[in-house]
A and B are shown apart, each in its own frame.
Chain A
């Protein structure tokens, strides 16, 4: 996976990812139009398919709204990389098929706008200048859930 980095700070909360006034929608298309809009207006049109969101600590804190990871998914983001994630967001993101990668100090070494590469097999993030940073590898069942596009698709595939 290769893409551009959209870097945000620590404690990126679910109100920033998707403000409360848009929770009346449930479809990915409409939700994603408002993703991150408090910090980057028109984020969806600016981000390219395959780009990465980079956060510091406690990414996704706040509400249990699953609308937040759905909005990120709808922007075509290939992974959210952060030093740590909030609990409910972590579970919701996996459940809807958004890849989250946890890597220590990553937000201090990668800059906004950098083109990076993620090697899932080796478990490394490669910076634009070629430096390698390890992330916590995911267990196989989580990769299967993500490949299926989320928990429900995964369960349906298993049942077929």
Chain B
């Protein structure tokens, strides 16, 4: 009678069965760091003094936060990381051309259900959408993983969100997760494993599942798990190679990692999304959530469609459907950034990029963009941003006197046309 998190950690050496609250030393299947958190982790790794990383085939390094380099400092960080990749013969290195880490890892087949993945980035929880226990860690912990392949964890308790009902046409997974965070609060799931289950999730594609898992951290969650199913297998089957392919098939067919509903301490919250309206997270906290219809007096200077939350092809299709044949409002800037090269190519093939450019958008190569306010598309004092990303903290996208609102790609596109927050029809 165990939760998914308990079952996954039960694989840890020397542990037959584990329960929430146990401290376990777990073997790490995949470790990820990027161009912005990598340098600190490499510094710490060098201080530890281990000569070689534990397993170069299990380390993934994508460049995404500052690509292409926008300053000498970031160019130097890239040089440092490329040197590390070469010296340590890291097998999975994705230089500036590939895209946002949390899109690249699933796309390239690094996320296998039932595995333990750590990343030096808080949105590592995204991979939970494919049934992996994935969580964000800092650079010192990453240095420990690089040296030993292990890290200690407190096995988390679980909150399971049972989501039922069919979403309305103008809403999406983003509205579900914003609504949940608004309900439970920014620390409502601290240290807990969040699980998303129910009929709505079974029907949901992998892209939308990733939206939910991605934002588990915004309520303090340690990860955002979704039980692997036939959709997970279909998504991954052509992405994994070699032995992993058979392992994946066997896992999906015989998986017993799903949460037992009679697990001790399991907290369950039922949510019906049939009447859900488009949602907005207002400044400066992600749990400051209101229906979009109550925000229609908010004028916007910049709209950003992209990021590891909503930069996938499904999001770009949603936005293009609304923007097609329309022009964005005067004095408004619309930035569209596909989350990966794969997404970008699909958007090109489907004619979406043409729709965006004709509507007046700036389309950039895959990267994190304005999401973290460190690279491109920053907002100035007094400016208002509407963003499909995951955080609206004070100063998140540039000036601390700026304001960031969060929404789905549908709301973002409709709002770009209106010049103010708008509810898509």
Interface centre among B138, B143, B400 (most CB of A within 10 A): B138
Is the beta-carbon distance between A38 and B395 smaller than 8 angstroms? Answer: yes
Residues of A within 8 A of B141 (CB): 91-92, 95
Interface residues on B, range: 35 or more
Chain B, 64-105, CB within 8 A of any chain A CB:
65-66, 71, 73-74, 77
Is the beta-carbon distance between A88 and B66 smaller than 8 angstroms? Answer: no
Say which residue of A13, A19, A57, A92 sits within 8 Å of B138 (CB atoms): A92
Is the beta-carbon distance between B73 and A24 smaller than 8 angstroms? Answer: yes
> 1/0 per residue A78-120: CB within 8 Å of B?
0000001011100110011000000000000000000000000
Binding site for B on A (CB under 8 A): 11, 13, 15-16, 19-26, 37-39, 57-58, 61-67, 84, 86-88, 91-92, 95-96, 150-152, 155-156
Is the beta-carbon distance between A152 and B48 smaller than 8 angstroms? Answer: yes
**Stretch in B6-14, B35-43, B232-240 touching the partner:** B35-43
Say which residue of A21, A62, A91, A150 sits within 8 Å of B137 (CB atoms): A91
Cβ of B139 under 8 Å from chain A: yes
Further pairs besides A15-B391, A63-B122, A84-B187: 15, Cβ < 8 Å: A13-B394, A15-B393, A19-B395, A20-B396, A21-B373, A24-B36, A26-B40, A58-B190, A62-B122, A64-B37, A67-B40, A92-B140, A151-B144, A152-B44, A156-B48
Residues of B within 8 A of A37 (CB): 400
Is the beta-carbon distance between B372 and A20 smaller than 8 angstroms? Answer: yes
Cβ of B54 under 8 Å from chain A: no
Cβ of B186 under 8 Å from chain A: yes
- Do A15 and B394 form a contact, CB below 8 Å, given A24-B74, A66-B140, A150-B140? yes
Chain B, 375-397, CB within 8 A of any chain A CB:
378, 391, 393-396
Whole-angstrom CA separation of A11 from B393 in the bound complex: 10
Cβ of B326 under 8 Å from chain A: no
- Do A58 and B220 form a contact, CB below 8 Å, given A64-B37, A152-B48? yes
Residues of A within 8 A of B187 (CB): 11, 57-58, 61, 84, 86
Is the beta-carbon distance between A64 and B73 smaller than 8 angstroms? Answer: no
Residues of A within 8 A of B122 (CB): 62-64, 88
- Can you spell out 25 A-B residue pairs with CB atoms less than 8 angstroms apart? A11-B186, A11-B187, A15-B391, A15-B396, A19-B395, A20-B396, A23-B36, A24-B36, A24-B66, A38-B400, A64-B122, A66-B138, A66-B139, A86-B187, A86-B220, A88-B138, A91-B137, A91-B141, A92-B138, A92-B139, A92-B140, A152-B44, A152-B140, A152-B143, A156-B48
Residues of A within 8 A of B396 (CB): 15, 20
> 1/0 per residue B225-264: CB within 8 Å of A?
0000000000000000000000000000000000000000
Binding site for A on B (CB under 8 A): 36-37, 39-40, 43-44, 47-49, 65-66, 71, 73-74, 77, 119-122, 124, 136-141, 143-144, 186-187, 190-191, 217, 220, 222, 285, 372-374, 378, 391, 393-396, 398, 400
Closest 4 CB pairs of A and B: A38-B400, A92-B138, A95-B140, A20-B372
Nearest CB on A from B418, distance (A):
28
Is the beta-carbon distance between B73 and A86 smaller than 8 angstroms? Answer: no
- Do A66 and B40 form a contact, CB below 8 Å, given A15-B393, A87-B222, A152-B48? yes
Nearest CB on A from B64, distance (A):
13
Is the beta-carbon distance between A11 and B285 smaller than 8 angstroms? Answer: yes
Is the beta-carbon distance between B391 and A155 smaller than 8 angstroms? Answer: no
Chain B, Cβ-Cβ closest to A84: B187
- Do A87 and B191 form a contact, CB below 8 Å, given A95-B140, A96-B140? yes
